[in-house]
Amino acid sequence: MEQIIANGLYLGAQYALIALGLTLIFSLMNVLNFAHGQMYVFGGFVTYTVVAQFKLPFVVGLLASAVVLAVMGALIEKFLFRPVIRKSKRDESTMLLAAGIAFFLDAVILLLFGEKQRGVPKIVNGVFNWDMRIIMPYDRILIGLLAIALIVAFILFMQYSRTGRAMRALAQDRVAAELMGVDVDRYSMIGFALGAMLAGLVGGLLVTITGVNLGMGGPTSIKAFLMIMIGGAGVISGAIAGGFILGMMESVGLTVLAAYGDVTYLAIFAALMIFLAIRPQGLMGKPWG
């Protein structure tokens, strides 16, 4: 029992971090970032390159992932999303663009890093064992705690910093924010960069444990969509709740349903469908996003 909860918390912390970036981008620009999973994978590969190839400390790798992805996010927003949003007749056009970017990042990852599964050596050794009730390697605990620290930092940033407040105003009402003198273009760009950076950071964290490979992008995006649907799209608390709920469900499902083969996700999806039929806006979302 305790083991399941511990696993759920560990998974949930990472998931919440991924969902936060996605929901931030969605709330600011009404863009569903299909490339989020690819950004996560890219972040993982950057850390891998810095740590395993250049033999630099892990912290440097993590910082490099954050910086590279933030710059990438800013550029994507400025040169791709902004012009398309301005010119297109329907909001949905950004979806094609996002999907195109997802493919493009896949191609870049393939060319730069190859198809192989990559990982870096454990950053700490040893296994935590509490009376055989909770068994968890120390590196997982460390990564889980780091993820939670990042979530807390993100919330504090959004609550108290000037930039965070401006972005929240923007998310609530674009027109009103513009009237209040918020530089919409600038904060959209910062928001996108921040969202991408979060994805990159999670990639950097997880490369130490599960490693990364090219094929992980798409499934990660889907999981992230699930989380923000559970919690409600565009809401920070919803993304965190969605992340932890999915992590918990996965952890419980993998234990309880293990006997029936790989039906955990089927059960989660079915539950989600029923949940959304009853509550379309998710746990904490505004009606119709």
Partner 1 sequence: MTPVRLLGIGAFLIGVFVLVPLFIRLSGRWDLYYTLTSVALLSVGAAGVWLTFYIGRINIGQGAYALLGGYVSAILVTQWGVSFWLTLPLAALTCSAVSVLIGLPILRLRGVYFAMVTLVLTEVARLTALALPITNGAKGITSIPLPGKLSIFGLTLIPDFATLENPKLAFYLMAAVLMVLTYLVLWRMVNSRLGHLCRSLQQNEELSASIGVNTAMLRVLAYAISSFFGGLAGAMFVAISQSIYPSSFAVSDSVNFMLYCFLGGLGYVFGPLLGTLLLYFGWDLLSVAKEYQLLIYSGAMIILMLVLPNGVLSLLDRKGGQK
Q: Which stretches of the chain bind partner 1, using CB under 8 A?
A: 26, 30, 32, 34, 80, 83-84, 87-93, 95-97, 99-101, 103-104, 106-108, 110-111, 218, 222, 225-226, 228-229, 233, 261-263, 265-266, 269-270, 272-274, 276-277, 280-281, 288-289
SS3 sequence of the chain: CHHHHHHHHHHHHHHHHHHHHHHHHHHHHCCCCCCHHHHHHHHHHHHHHHHHHCCCCHHHHHHHHHHHHHHHHHHHHHHHHHHHHHHCCCCCHHHHHHHHHHHHHHHHHHHHHCCCCECCCCCCCCEEEECCCEEEEHHHHHHHHHHHHHHHHHHHHHHHCHHHHHHHHHHHCHHHHHHCCCCHHHHHHHHHHHHHHHHHHHHHHHCCCCCECHHHHHHHHHHHHHHHHHHCCCCHHHHHHHHHHHHHHHHHHHHHHHHHCCCHHHHHHHHHHHHHHHCCCCCCCCCCC
Q: What's the min distance (Å) between Cβ of 170 and partner 1?
A: 18
Q: What's the min distance (Å) between Cβ of 97 and partner 1?
A: 5
CB nearer partner 1, residue 130 or residue 260 = 260
CB nearer partner 1, residue 57 or residue 100 = 100
Q: What's the min distance (Å) between Cβ of 174 and partner 1?
A: 16
CB nearer partner 1, residue 67 or residue 270 = 270
CB nearer partner 1, residue 22 or residue 205 = 22
Q: What's the min distance (Å) between Cβ of 103 and partner 1?
A: 4
CB nearer partner 1, residue 183 or residue 262 = 262
Q: What's the min distance (Å) between Cβ of 286 and partner 1?
A: 11
Q: What's the min distance (Å) between Cβ of 139 and partner 1?
A: 30
CB nearer partner 1, residue 175 or residue 277 = 277
